Amino acid sequence: MQQADKQLSPIMKGEGPCDPCDSLPALFARHIRYGLCRGEQDKHELFNATALSVKEQMLDNWRQTRLNDNSYQQKQIAYLSLEFLMGRTLGNALLNLNLADETRTILNQYATELESIEELENDAGLGNGGLGRLAACFLDSCASLDLSVTGYGIRYQYGMFVQKIVDGYQVEQPDRWLRFGNPWEVRLPHRIVTVPFFGHTETYVDKDGKRQHVWKDTKNVLAVPYDMPIPGFNNGRINTLRLWKAEANDEFDLAEFNDGDYAEAVATKNLAEQITMVLYPNDASVNGKELRLRQQYFLSSASLQDLLNRYVSHHGEDFSQFSAKNVMQLNDTHPSIAVPELMRLLMDKYGLGWDKAWDITSQCMAYTNHTLLPEALERWPLAMMQNMLPRIVEIIFEINARYLELVAHHWPGDIQKLRDMSIIEESPQQQIRMAYLAIVASFSVNGVAGLHTKLLKSGLFNDFYQLWPEKFNNKTNGVTPRRWLAYCNPKLSSLITRRLGDEWVTDLTKLAALNAFTSDKAFVNEWAEIKLANKQALAAFVKQQCQVEFDPKMMFDVQVKRIHEYKRQLLNILHVIHLYRRILNGDTQGMVPRCVLIGGKAAPGYAMAKQIIKLANNVAHMVNSDPQVTPYLRMAFLPNYNVSAMEKICPGTDLSEQISTAGKEASGTGNMKFMMNGALTIGTLDGANIEMLEEVGEDNFFLFGLNAEQVSQTKSHYNPQQIINQSAALTGVMDMLSSGHFNLVEPGIFDHIIASIKEPHDQWMTAADFDSYRLAQEAVAATYLNQEKWQKISIRNTACSGRFSSDNTIAGYRDEIWMKK
């Protein structure tokens, strides 16, 4: 390896290959001729040949990137995440590698459009929603900023479930995304590591008189890495997303094999492989299943062993440089078991003492918090962890004991403080508080938007903020402008590039120059025409997916995101019912014809979210089947919202709904994708909406509702029934809902939803914001009627979206977290 370092050839930037046999057309022709062996070329074969030859085009630079990084000249960042919501790879790779035109030409020789080939790729749906998509956007930005960042995740055999809608209800189907293989991945059997589970611990005194710990009689599982290439934008860097697959360890079954129970022994292999079988579909809530803890430890242990192996092969077992050369960014607490695992590996495998191991660990770990919702804070039962990971529990106890001394020193005599801040929660069933473990061990703790970080410091983590104010920092989320503008909206991108040049693709603040064009008539017209064309494409998609006709002349009002009470799809539906009533009553004065699109998946165990989906579908059905209504209002629920769907949705959206209860949405990133593509936002003062409003200005954002402070002050005396009584509009909506108008043949199915709105303990305060929301929607309509004004505001939204590039976010992580210490 050291030898190879000295003979590195430079990374090739957009230059052709040295050997014509390596050109894209040659690689493609070879796959068609020899690779697939199927006879005639169907589209799937063309997709595979395309993907494989594009991957091969990356191999030289991929290898070179790895060799360069192995010299450890740059600090090595590991982004640890249980979720990477990558979506499709082909289109984005072609953009970043500048190979789209060449590929188009090749495919045209087979009378095939590139777009039709792209449609054949399954989404890599290895994530739930915002948190997993953030990880994917970050990987794109890190590679494009030439940072040496490796994503570490799990290669789930089944990603996020496929959502079907049957009779208005969500039905979950398994996502068999690997059924036809994954042309992008490379299996690396020579980098397999072994992850231990169960067993017990023993201590002994070694020859130097030191107490040593051994973890014995473990059941071991193999972790096999599968690498996916992450190309930077036009810079020759190819980073790696390393996804671990669990496989059975043959020696582990030997005892049973010798007992003669061969079939049983082979069958137990499945138990090992189950670890990476399926992604848990919970967003913003936890699943306390033992298998989930196994996944977390499996990912953490495999990734750290991989990092340490790599370090040791270049530095030997001298760990004095380790913390200067490595950072592990924990995407939420999901991989936070990496804290005691790194301690274990450094002490038990490499023989370091506690203090040295702790110095290293606490200088390497950085933790990103993603939510304030208590139901999303991970706690693992001590008994479960004790059984599964006995050595890890010993280490957590030792970390806790030492850290509580610090707490006792800071708050002398305050026993309650010790209880409150302990990593071990002293409930009847003792629990390990994973967020506390992460904070104690991390040199950086960040929230994901200004308001969110402020609330972390003043509320949830206030004790920790008092102890370690220097650890806390904000990194407002962002989205990659490559996928979310350059790739998904080619018409708008081309217009922008014709006016501004193409620098905006890597420096999104350049879009600010669009503000100068808001009074250029030709430009504004072209802007509007592109939106119309994108709406036509979205209407075709909605027609195909929902069998509902959307008319591109109407306003497209869109809310797509996971279905959760805090995101308040219900508020949106109540507003649709309000418009529907107005139309039935002949009150269409000032109304703008609109098409309302709602989409998103509910966690399979989240009953209320599933009822909200059913309500959306039933309301849509009533609205769409009344010819008196459809000239003014249409509604569709889009099944199976995912990354590739969003690529079609955000370019064709007029109005973006970001209407969460203030203080509950940590950041949001859907809001940013819409803004970049020129949608106007109706939203609350929540998450990154606040920063979007700051950028675009109050006149260009439809703000409504209580702010976070008002929400928390209202809590003690919230009286929704009184609010309903005082609002004629809301009374009308509630009466219509309660009358069974939307569930004539399904009596009672919405009772729970109706009761939740009237419930004084309704955390989401849907009733409180209804009138304010309704009035803001009237302002939306009034603005939309003035198309010239609307288009100017649309341009302004794109122009002001530069701050929300994940390149900007990652530059912050780089300068203020990763390279700082």
Ligand X SMILES: *Cc1c(COP(=O)(O)O)cnc(C)c1O
Instruction: Using the rule CB under 6 A, give the single segment among 100-108, 666-674, 790-798, 810-818 that binds ligand X.
Output: 666-674
Q: Which is nearer to ligand X, 223 or 649 (CB)?
A: 649
What DSSP letter does each residue of 38-64 carry, written as one string? -SS--HHHHHHHHHHHHHHHHHHHHHH
CB 602 within 8 A of CB 563: yes
Q: Where are the alpha helices (DSSP H) in 605-705?
A: 607-624, 643-649, 670-676, 689-696
Q: How far is the CB of 646 from ligand X (least distance, A)?
A: 4
> Are 812 and 820 within 8 A, CB to CB?
no
660 is a site residue for ligand X (CB under 6 A)? no
Residue 643 in the binding site for ligand X (CB under 6 A)? yes
Rank residues 611 and 669 by Cβ distance to ligand X and give the closer one.
Answer: 669
Distance CA 79, CA 230 (A): 13
Nearer to ligand X, 342 or 542 (CB): 542
- Cβ at position 134, least distance to ligand X in Å: 8
Beta bridge partners, 368, equal: 331, 446
User: Pick from 236, 670, 683, 720: which binds ligand X (CB under 6 A)?
Assistant: 670
**Size of residue set near ligand X by CB under 6 A:** 13
Q: Any bridge partners for residue 634, and if so which?
A: 595
CB of 305 to ligand X, least distance (A): 31
CB of 86 vs ligand X, minimal distance in Å: 11
- Provide, rounded to whole angstroms, the least separation between the CB of residue 197 and ligand X: 32
Q: Using alpha carbons only, give the angle 482, 14, 815 rounded to the nearest 5 degrees.
A: 50
- In the chain, the amino acid numbered 491 is K
Q: Which residues are catalytic?
A: 370, 561-562, 567, 669, 673
- Of the pair 133, 535, the CB lying nearest ligand X is at 133
In the bound complex, what is the minimum distance in angstroms from residue 360's beta carbon to ligand X? 35
Contact 801, 756 (CB under 8 A): no
642 binds ligand X (CB under 6 A): yes
Pairing of strands 238-248, 149-154: parallel
Structure tokens at 149: 């960042």
Q: Give the C-alpha separation, 755 to 774, whole Å.
A: 21
Question: What are the φ/ψ torsions at residue 39 (nearest 5 degrees)?
Answer: 90, -120
CB of 12 to ligand X, least distance (A): 32
Residue closer to ligand X, measured from CB, 327 or 643: 643
Could you give the CA distance from residue 251 to residue 466 in angstroms, rounded to a whole number?
Answer: 50
In this complex, which beta carbon is closest to ligand X, that of residue 326 or of residue 642? 642
Nearest Cα residue to 549 out of 655, 439, 629: 629
Q: With CA atoms as reference, report the closest residue to 563 among 605, 610, 616.
A: 610
Nearest to 336 by CA among 432, 419, 220, 431: 432
Binding characters for ligand X, 164-193, by CB under 6 A (x = yes) = ------------------------------
> What minimum distance in Å lies between the beta carbon of 488 and ligand X?
10
Structural element, H or E, at residue 280? none
Q: How far is the CB of 83 from ligand X (least distance, A)?
A: 11
**Contacts with ligand X, 116-155, as mask; x by CB under 6 A:** -------------xx--x----------------------
Q: Give the three-class secondary structure for 680.
A: strand
Query: Per CB under 6 A, does 391 bind ligand X?
Result: no
CA distances from 46 to 100, 115, 116, 180, 604 (A): 15, 12, 10, 13, 36
- Residues 339 and 296 sit within 8 Å (Cβ to Cβ): no
Closer to ligand X by Cβ: residue 530 or 643: 643
User: Nearer Cβ to ligand X, position 370 or 575?
Assistant: 370
CB 479 within 8 A of CB 805: yes
Number of CB atoms found within 10 A of residue 735's CB: 12
Q: Taking the complex as a whole, how short is the minimal distance between the CB of residue 697 and ligand X, in angstroms?
A: 22
Q: Which of 650, 716, 710 is nearest to 677 (CA)?
A: 650
**Binding residue for ligand X, selected from 669, 681, 801, 805, defined by CB under 6 A:** 669
646 interacts with ligand X by CB under 6 A:
yes
Alpha-carbon distances, residue 241 vs 86, 124, 154 (angstroms): 10, 12, 10
Binding-residue pattern over the window 720 to 759 for ligand X, x denoting contact by CB under 6 A: ----------------------------------------
Residue among 45, 41, 52, 175 nearest 644 (CA): 175
Which of 31, 561 has the CB closer to ligand X?
Answer: 561
* Nearest of 293, 208, 221, 278 to residue 252 by alpha carbon: 221
Q: Is 281 in the site for ligand X (CB under 6 A)?
A: no
Mark the segment that binds ligand X (CB under 6 A) among 44-52, 393-401, 526-534, 641-649: 641-649
Sign of the Cα pseudo-torsion (257, 263, 268, 269, in order): positive
What is the spatial distance between Cα 298 and Cα 152, in angstroms, rounded to a whole number? 11
Residue span binding ligand X (CB under 6 A) among the ranges 515-523, 530-538, 588-596, 640-648? 640-648
Residue 278 near residue 156, CB atoms below 8 Å: yes
Binding mask 52-71 for ligand X (x = CB under 6 A): --------------------
State how far the Cα of 534 lies from the Cα of 649, in Å rounded to an integer. 9
Q: How far is CA 55 from the centre of its chain?
A: 24
> Could you say whether residue 668 binds ligand X (CB under 6 A)?
yes
Please tell me the distance from the alpha carbon of residue 551 to that of residue 554, in angstroms, as a whole number. 6
CA distance 49 to 339: 42
CA 774 to chain centre: 30
Closest approach of Cβ 599 to ligand X, in Å?
A: 9
Residue nearest to ligand X (CB): 670
| Interface pick for ligand X out of 242, 561, 575, 578 (rule CB under 6 A) | 561
DSSP code of residue 109: T
**Distance between CA 429 and CA 657 in Å, rounded?**
41
The interface region with ligand X, picked from 1-9, 31-39, 642-650, 803-811 by CB under 6 A, is 642-650
x/- track of binding to ligand X for residues 71-110 (CB under 6 A): ----------------------------------------
481 touching ligand X, by CB under 6 A:
no
For residue 81, give the nearest of 295, 311, 392, 364 by alpha carbon. 295
Q: Which is nearer to ligand X, 197 or 674 (CB)?
A: 674
Pairing of strands 211-216, 200-205: antiparallel
Closest CB to ligand X among residues 69, 654: 654
Residue placing its CB nearer to ligand X in the complex, 296 or 371: 371
Cβ at position 689, least distance to ligand X in Å: 10
Least separation, in Å, of the C-beta of 99 and ligand X? Answer: 24
Stretch that binds ligand X, among 271-279, 538-546, 663-671, 748-756 (CB under 6 A): 663-671
568 part of the interface to ligand X, by CB under 6 A = no
For ligand X, the closer of residues 581 and 610 by Cβ is: 610
Note the residues at the interface with ligand X (CB under 6 A).
129-130, 133, 561-562, 641-643, 646, 668-670, 673
